[in-house]
Chains A and B, each alone.
Chain A
Amino acid sequence: MIDHKVAKIQRVEKAPARFQKNWQVLEDVRAPVLRTEGLSIGYRLSRRAERVVAADLDVQVEAGEMVCLLGPNGAGKSTLMRTLAGLQPALSGAVWLDGALIESLSASELARRLSIVLTDRVDVGNLSAFGLVSLGRHPYTNWSGGLSEADRAAVLWALDAVGATPLAHRPVLELSDGERQKVLIARALAQEPRLILLDEPTAFLDLPRRVEMMGVLRALARETGRAILLSTHDLDLALRSADRLWLLGGDGLLHAGAPEDLVLSGAFERAFASERVNFDAFSGSFRIERPAAGIVHLHGEGLARRWTERALEREGYCVDNEREGVPAAEIVIDPAGPRWNRAAARWLLRRDGNEQVFETIGALVRGLKKFDFSEKVELLKSRTSKREILKCQD
């Protein structure tokens, strides 16, 4: 089902403003928490002129679902997030949140349905993690913001749900970026919304932390029945963990669907492909295209082969044993020693009848680069079209 227009569902008038007092799993998982109808986003420049970023968006997020919003820089991800969060008015169309039009909700009604996590680093000085999370109780507390027993319980639950309970009494400024992000998500959760919007929650994290963060968010959506919409640049991670992707291309069209469907239909590639970067539908990742420096025959297997291949690709060589033509070089991975061991592998480089041995991939690549290929590349070019050389992975 890859259509940028999701079939419009029958508009059901629900009892409005039903607020879920208890913060455990929400029932009614079927209903869409967020739904847009003919939504146009953008900026009103003056009374007449407006700049439309994307138009005719009909999408929805269901309870218990994690949706990732992807798109190249400048495609309007932030504008869409801001519009859905009610921080920016839509140019036209409607945003339905939990059965109510978003602009019909008062600020505090909105806060009980939707919470946000922004990319900006927050400076909260001496606030403890518990103090920061308890700010999320704002829509529920009295004039002074004092916490009731129920509020405290909700804060503790939110901390626990993201695995941040041990951080509760630490000052926020002492936390690492990953820990801080968890605490900010707990704050959003303490607001007990139906929908949490996160703007690039993985932006400042290292790879293991990113994977962990996505795991935490996915589990939150599943276990608490809340809907999560996040924007991210982490294509690979989004492909692996999202229930649904929203793909906002530069053309102002939004493609929504399961990640795998979007890859198969080519929507993914169209949204991101540029002159220098190609999407590889097989591995689900992007490759930087470089003009081929030559063909290399590679013999060997296992992990060492995989990473040797990557190093050669990075340097612009085609690793292809089947390809006809004169190979620039022949590389043999020699699993030296009695027990195969990654570190002990050696690389044999054969060319022009010489053989050289290298202890590391780095040394191999340096040795290969010294070799003059120009003659052989010319030879290849005369035999095959240029396009074929460029696309040696196909």
Chain B
Amino acid sequence: MNTNRFRTHTILLALLTVGLVAIFLLSLSLGSVSIPVEQIVTILFGGTAEKASWATIVLKFRLPKAITAALAGAALSASGLQMQTLFRNPLADPFVLGISSGASLGVALVVLVAGVAGGSSLLAGVSLVGDVSLALASIIGSTLVLLLVMAVARRVQSTMTLLILGLMFGYATSALVSVLLYFSIAERIQAYISWTFGSFGGVTWSQLQVFGPVTVAGLIGSHLLVKPLNALLLGETYARSMGLNVRLARLGVIGASASLAGVVTAFCGPIGFLGIAVPHLCRSLFGTSDHRLLLPAVTLLGAILALGADLLAQLPGSQLTLPLNAVTALLGAPVVTWVILRQRNLRESFAG
């Protein structure tokens, strides 16, 4: 029976890997211009495509975007899984500790305060600096929150305190953002709002040189934490009694998952839903709470779903693009609801 389950799990992981490769190629092939998949493969392996423009489209635009989407999806899902386990709460997501709040405050300050100070004459200037300053602002915002959370986590005894502090911090920052919005002009509000929609498209090759390594490092770090995460399944007291240094483990988990969430928010905006949904999907797909299996599973499935959502957001065959966050939630919410309802109840379907 045990070997049977083991085989099922191996097959599932293999299927997920194949699915990831397939959807990755598909997302390179589909778009405003459709490029045949075999041409994509040729381009990726350094060959010459039938049309020279195809190579440009794939290498310059679609490849960085697809890599970003895959990494961001994996990062958010791995981060969400760790947060749910650490806080033993099925509603936890990568942003419970206020990471995205920090980033949005940073962006709001840049977009909205610059507007208030300089008036509409500076608008042109902002759009010129545009993406770079936005990314910078949200990096600074999320890093500051990350450092704050780590500092608090080192002192606070109870993990629940941390959760409540994160929530309170989220409320406070969103209040500040609404004050800024209230005194801002329409164009800047629009700029801010479109940042909150989230997008994988804004990341260039040069930005990817930062985004890529940080995300990969965060993912590797998360995979090294499977043993403490498993120990935390039974709660902190049991974990401690099994020889786990809970404070250190907590710091590691928060460090890994918050930097994953932070770097994604910084470069792609606050992308919701994936982080909370993918861990639940994987738990019911694999029927386990063992992080040795769940972490690779959420990494793969997260990447697949992020690529899929991005594909759908572009509405293949049309020139229209939907906000990414709208797509993830609209399609994901019914799926997750169905999965959860199929289980006995939410409390039990949740692991830890």
Contact = CB atoms under 8 A, between A and B. Distances in A.
Interface of A: 85, 87, 106-112, 114-116, 118, 120, 122-127, 130-132, 135-136, 138-139, 141, 143-146, 169, 173, 191
B227 A123 contact: no
Interface of B: 1-2, 88, 224, 226-227, 230-231, 233-235, 237-238, 240-245, 283, 286-290, 292, 344, 347-352
A123 B348 contact: yes
Contacts of B283: 125-126
B350 A111 contact: no
Given A112-B243, A146-B292, 8 more contacts: A87-B237, A107-B240, A123-B350, A127-B288, A131-B288, A132-B234, A138-B231, A138-B243
11 contacts: A107-B243, A107-B244, A108-B243, A110-B243, A118-B237, A120-B235, A125-B352, A126-B286, A126-B351, A131-B288, A143-B227
B84 to A, nearest CB: 10
Contacts of B238: 116, 118, 122, 135
By Cβ-Cβ distance, the 7 closest A-B pairs, closest first, are A125-B351, A111-B243, A108-B243, A145-B227, A138-B242, A139-B243, A125-B289
A145 B226 contact: yes
Given A124-B352, A127-B351, A131-B288, A141 B240 contact: no
Contacts of A143: 224, 227
Nearest to A193: B241
Nearest to A140: B243
A122 B287 contact: no
Nearest to B246: A107
A85 B243 CA distance: 12
A114 B238 CA distance: 12
A131 B290 contact: yes
Q: Which of B88, B240, B245 has the most CB of A within 10 A?
A: B240
A126 B240 contact: no
A262 B53 CA distance: 92
A144 B287 CA distance: 20
Contacts of A132: 234
A30 to B, nearest CB: 26
Contact of B288 (A108, A126, A169): A126
Contacts of A145: 226-227, 230-231, 292
A139 B288 CA distance: 22
Given A111-B243, A125-B289, A125-B352, A116 B237 contact: yes
A178 B235 CA distance: 20
A108 B241 CA distance: 8
B227 to A, nearest CB: 4
Contact of B245 (A107, A124, A135, A169): A107
B230 A135 contact: yes
Nearest to A136: B242
A108 B88 CA distance: 23
A73 to B, nearest CB: 21
B289 A138 contact: no
A110 B1 CA distance: 34
B138 to A, nearest CB: 34
Q: Which of A109, A116, A123, A144 has the most CB of B within 10 A?
A: A123
Nearest to A105: B243
Given A138-B244, A145-B226, A191-B242, A122 B234 contact: yes
Nearest to B349: A125
A348 to B, nearest CB: 54
B290 A127 contact: yes
A169 B234 CA distance: 18
Contact of B348 (A120, A138, A173, A191): A173
Contacts of B286: 126
Contacts of A144: 226-227, 292
B241 A124 contact: no
Nearest to B225: A143
A123 B88 contact: yes
Given A111-B243, A112-B243, A115-B241, A126 B287 contact: yes
Nearest to B90: A125
A145 B238 CA distance: 16
B243 A169 contact: no
A146 B230 CA distance: 11
A280 B22 CA distance: 77
B223 to A, nearest CB: 9
A247 B288 CA distance: 43
Contacts of B226: 144-145
A24 B88 CA distance: 35
Contacts of A126: 283, 286-289, 349, 351
A110 B240 CA distance: 10
A242 B278 CA distance: 49
Contacts of A123: 88, 347-348, 350-352
Nearest to B237: A118
Contacts of A135: 230-231, 233-234, 238, 242
B227 A127 contact: no
Contacts of B289: 124-127, 131
Contacts of A125: 233, 283, 289, 348-352
A85 B283 CA distance: 33
Contacts of B235: 118, 120, 122
Contacts of B1: 169
Contacts of B243: 106-112, 138-139
Nearest to A199: B237
A128 to B, nearest CB: 8
